[in-house]
């Protein structure tokens, strides 16, 4: 890429932003912990010690155990795999749909654009949370279906952002020059349009991940998301709420983990936005 100075500037600004850096490092640590969970976790996520039952944090079980005597730390580590996987995969789905939709609408303009964007407008007004619940009820609580359903909901804003960017690019000379030279549509998108809108896409994708994780946790909390024996952070919070009166740690630690993760992702996303586009920054 020959616009490396933009990215170099952005990285320099990002490194100077302390909140964003702490957020980014936290996210990386979480990803590493999640990937290596089977080796790091002191116990298996399904290992039960029924004699022990629910026990408060101790030397053997750093974060305590749940009602079935399962180690909470291990379950949190395994839960991170599911929660982060949902976050990244569903965001990926949203990214693919939203970027393609936005590029096509913005680049071709005219009637194509107005029909495509009207569809987005209409979809914006629908209660998607209800449709996801509906899908989960009809097709069973399948984790891959959950990814697809959440991704299929979150692409709308991405499509709008990408479209606006493409419209700005379309009339620039290098795009027109490429058109005159007879560059085909696909390679136009890939070589000339996409590299120039990577910034906004990266920013919005980073900010979509926490939203997606929130949606998954919401469904799992209601019992309509991830099903046992697998557990996401949302499921753990659900179990924590059920027994919070006697076993506060079962709510506090999963809740804290989830909140810190959302904080980290949001701070990193905000920092990335400020770094790539200093104009939108408040300060």
Partner 1 sequence: MLNVLIRRILIAIPVLIVVASLTFFFIRLAPGGPFDADKVVSPQVMKNLNAAYNLDAPLHEQYFDYMSGVIVGDFGPSFRYPGRSVSEMIYTGLPITFELAFYALMIAVALGIFSGVLAALKRNTFLDYFPMAIAMLGICVPTFLMGPILVLVFGINLEVLPVSGWDTLAGDKLLPSITLGFAYAAYIARLSRGGMLEVLGQDFIRTARAKGLSEFSIVTRHAMQGGLLPVVSFMGPAIAGLLGGSFVVETIFQIPGLGRFYVEAAFNRDYTMILGTTIFFSAMIIFFNLLSDLAVLLLNPRARENL
Q: What are phi and psi of 178, to 5 degrees?
A: -65, -40
133 binds partner 1 (CB under 8 A): yes
Q: Which of 110, 127, 184, 228 binds partner 1 (CB under 8 A)?
A: 127
SS3 content of the chain, % helix, strand, coil (to 5): 75, 0, 25
CA distances from 189 to 85, 172, 253 (A): 28, 14, 46
Return the range that interacts with partner 1 (CB under 8 A); candidates 41-49, 59-67, 126-134, 145-153.
126-134
Task: Report in angstroms how near the CB of residue 67 gets to partner 1 at its nearest.
Answer: 16
- Long-range (24+ apart) CB contacts under 8 A made by 133-141 are 133/219, 133/222, 133/224, 136/219, 136/224, 136/225, 137/224, 141/224, 141/225, 141/226, 141/227
Residue in 148, 151, 144, 129 with CA at minimum distance from that of residue 219: 129
- Eight-state DSSP code of residue 89: H
Q: Which of 22, 167, 224, 230 binds partner 1 (CB under 8 A)?
A: 224
131 binds partner 1 (CB under 8 A): yes
130 binds partner 1 (CB under 8 A): yes
269 binds partner 1 (CB under 8 A): no
Task: Report in angstroms how near the CB of residue 255 gets to partner 1 at its nearest.
Answer: 5
Asked if 21 and 15 touch (Cβ cutoff 8 Å), the reply is yes
Task: Report in angstroms how near the CB of residue 244 gets to partner 1 at its nearest.
Answer: 6
Q: Which of 221, 239, 253, 268 binds partner 1 (CB under 8 A)?
A: 221
Q: Which stretches of the chain bind partner 1, using CB under 8 A? A: 122, 124-127, 129-131, 133-140, 210, 214, 217-218, 221-224, 234, 237-238, 240-241, 244-245, 248, 251, 255, 258-259, 262-263, 266, 282-283
């Amino acid at each position: 890429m020959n616009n490396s100075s933009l990215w170099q500037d952005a990285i320099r600004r990002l490194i100077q932003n302390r909140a964003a850096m702490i957020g980014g490092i936290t996210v990386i640590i979480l990803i590493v912990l999640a990937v290596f969970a089977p080796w790091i976790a002191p116990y298996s996520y399904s290992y039960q010690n029924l004699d022990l039952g629910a026990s408060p944090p101790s030397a053997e079980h750093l974060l305590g155990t749940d009602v079935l005597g399962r180690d909470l730390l291990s379950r949190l580590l395994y839960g991170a795999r599911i929660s982060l996987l949902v976050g990244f995969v569903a965001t990926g789905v949203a990214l693919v749909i939203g970027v393609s939709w936005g590029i096509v609408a913005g680049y071709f303009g005219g009637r194509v654009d107005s029909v495509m964007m009207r569809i987005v407008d209409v979809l914006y007004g629908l209660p998607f949370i209800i449709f996801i619940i509906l899908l989960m009820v009809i097709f069973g609580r399948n984790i891959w279906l959950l990814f697809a359903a959440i991704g299929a909901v979150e692409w709308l804003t991405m499509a709008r952002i990408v479209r606006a960017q493409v419209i700005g690019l379309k009339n620039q000379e290098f795009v027109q020059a490429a058109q005159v030279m007879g560059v085909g549509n696909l390679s136009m998108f890939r070589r000339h349009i996409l590299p120039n809108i990577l910034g906004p896409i990266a920013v919005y994708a980073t900010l979509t991940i926490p939203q997606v994780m929130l949606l998954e946790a919401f469904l799992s909390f209601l019992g309509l998301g991830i099903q046992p024996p697998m557990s996401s952070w949302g499921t753990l919070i659900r179990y924590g709420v059920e027994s919070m009166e006697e076993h506060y740690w079962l709510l506090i630690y999963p809740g804290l983990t989830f909140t810190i993760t959302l904080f980290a992702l949001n701070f990193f996303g905000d920092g990335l936005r400020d770094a790539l586009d200093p104009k939108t920054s408040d300060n």
